[in-house]
Structure 1
Amino acid sequence: MTTTDAVPVHPSNLDQLRAWDGDEGGYWAAHPDHFERALAAYDDALFDAAAIGSGDRVLDIGCGTGSTSRHAARLAATGSVLGVDLSSAMVDVARRRAAATGHANVVFAQADAQVHPFEAGAFDVAVGRTSAMFFGDRVAALANIGRALRPGGRLALLTWQPVERNEWIREFGGALAAGRTPPAPPPDAPGPFSLADPGVIRAVLDSAGYTDVRIDGHEAPMWFGTDPDDAHELVLGLLGWMLDGLDDAAASRARDALRATITAHRTPGGVVFRSAAWIIRATRSSTTA
């Protein structure tokens, strides 16, 4: 474990800390309404899988700006919620939003869930919406989370299905790549699609000490903005790094291509792209150390 000025982290998560407690996390924290709404269509399926009871103690892994924590707090009305995230900026936003909405049974902490010393058996349920894919060591992280669950406690995760099933990243990536083929990341590297293969998901959860694994496919629209201008600005702020290395003319063509696909996806409710995710549920083994 490495102790930084921000938070104790595992060395394999230092790059994630730099991103999420740096510019990337800061960008999400500056646009909480957009990013919370983008994934909101998955919340019913995720929380159905979590089956949170009114008195449950809930751990929200990678809580971001807190929408999932607030959702869990409403379900666990007489219980409690701890939301953790590597981003201090997003945790600050999460605290302010929970206070503003009167969610007194939720608290937040900046933490690396892979190594954070959670109290053993302190939670009944752990949830993670598009977070488990970013751990440097997914098995170690999910095992640490498992130790924080009581024996028989529940885990519910949302991870992306493969790229070809997710129109949003295909379209954005294709436009901004400007004909280039980006190098494929190593298969075990952290990233949004590192848990896209159900076989990998099962192997990771089995190694981390979970049983009764169930993986269900789910499709939902992803919302990126009220209109093309709004969505174009959001996506460029998120993925503009893909323009690095392009000359001015190529970068201009890439931005135009991005605007074209965004405009083509305008609906009466805003800019919407198709997406597909896995809803994963598992049980903490009674023999987990």
Structure 2
Amino acid sequence: MSEHRVRFAAVFDEEVRRHNERFRAAAAVQPGEDVLDVGCGTGESTREAAQAGGNVLGVDVSEPAIARARELGGAAFAVADAQTHPFPAAAFDVVLSRFGAMFFPDPPAAFANLARALRPGGRLVLLVWQERDRNEWYSVLHEALAPAAAPPPPGPHFSLGDPARTRALLEGAGFTGVEFTELRDPVCYGPDAATACEFALGLLDVKQLLALGDAHSVPRLREAFAAHETAEGVLLGARTWLVTARLSRA
């Protein structure tokens, strides 16, 4: 997945562009703020925070993604697991994560670690997928690839889709004022059906569904993407949560 993430970095960034615009506005990074970007991938969200004037560190567990982020420059980057990395205590004003925080194996430990890295009153801003059944893009993939099979259990990228569970996790780590804003903008899988298919075939959800499909799965996927092709690219319905919170000052 790391190599795929780097190869299709531009597609990944364009996929969530509409959601990212709201995410960037909610982060509202100010000049001089110290910012930690968790699960930064190839670094688009990190560079945007730096362009707003922040002193930004982007971290990711993927060495290829961080190598590419460093090539692109614009901020500081490090290979690090934000769940366990010993960040300096109370070193950041803002912790951001655009589709990265869902992958923690131990979410309570991870958010506790991030809380230790924040200054009292510091901001947490997350962009996460809503639950799988609420996302049309997954339904399109399922119906194309394995329409006769029950879908596999949801992957970790949907782990923060339940607001009640996520609120409990964050409050347990010491965050207050947890708020959820629903975003319903479409995601873009590429400029055309051919690119969308090539991009999708490297995704975890698609690989899982292909294992349940048949010889016609990939042709059906191409047809499905062609049906969603627009002048703005292959657009599929999506729902995310924009999650904001502050670290308690107590």
* Kept in 2: contact 1:178–1:253 (CA 8 A): no
* Kept in 2: contact 1:178–1:254 (CA 8 A): no
User: Matches of 2:143 and 2:111 in 1, distance apart?
Assistant: 33
Shift of 1:183: 3.6
Query: Which residue of structure 2 aligns with residue 175 of structure 1?
Result: 144
**Within the alignment, does 1:214 sit opposite 2:179 as a pair?**
yes
Secondary structure of the residue that 1:68 maps to in structure 2?
Answer: helix
Shift of 1:257: 1.7
**Within the alignment, does 1:112 sit opposite 2:81 as a pair?**
yes
**Within the alignment, does 1:89 sit opposite 2:55 as a pair?**
no
**Within the alignment, does 1:69 sit opposite 2:38 as a pair?**
no
What pairs up with 1:1-289 in 2 under 5 angstroms? 24-75=1-52, 77=53, 79-98=54-73, 103=74, 106-184=75-153, 191-238=156-203, 239-244=206-211, 250=214, 252-287=215-250
* Kept in 2: contact 1:160–1:276 (CA 8 A): yes
Question: Unaligned 5+ residue runs, structure 1?
Answer: 1-23
* 1:38 partner amino acid: E
Shift of 1:256: 1.9
Shift of 1:244: 2.7
User: Matches of 1:29 and 1:241 in 2, distance apart?
Assistant: 21
TM-score (norm 2): 0.95
CA deviation string 1:50-97 (max 9, x = no partner): 22111111100000010000111111x2x4100000100000111111
Secondary structure of the residue that 1:113 maps to in structure 2?
Answer: coil
What fraction of aligned residue pairs are identical, expressed as a percent?
42
* 1:41 partner amino acid: R
Q: CA RMSD in A?
A: 1.4
Question: Unaligned 5+ residue runs, structure 2?
Answer: none
CA deviation string 1:259-289 (max 9, x = no partner): 12101100012111111100000001124xx
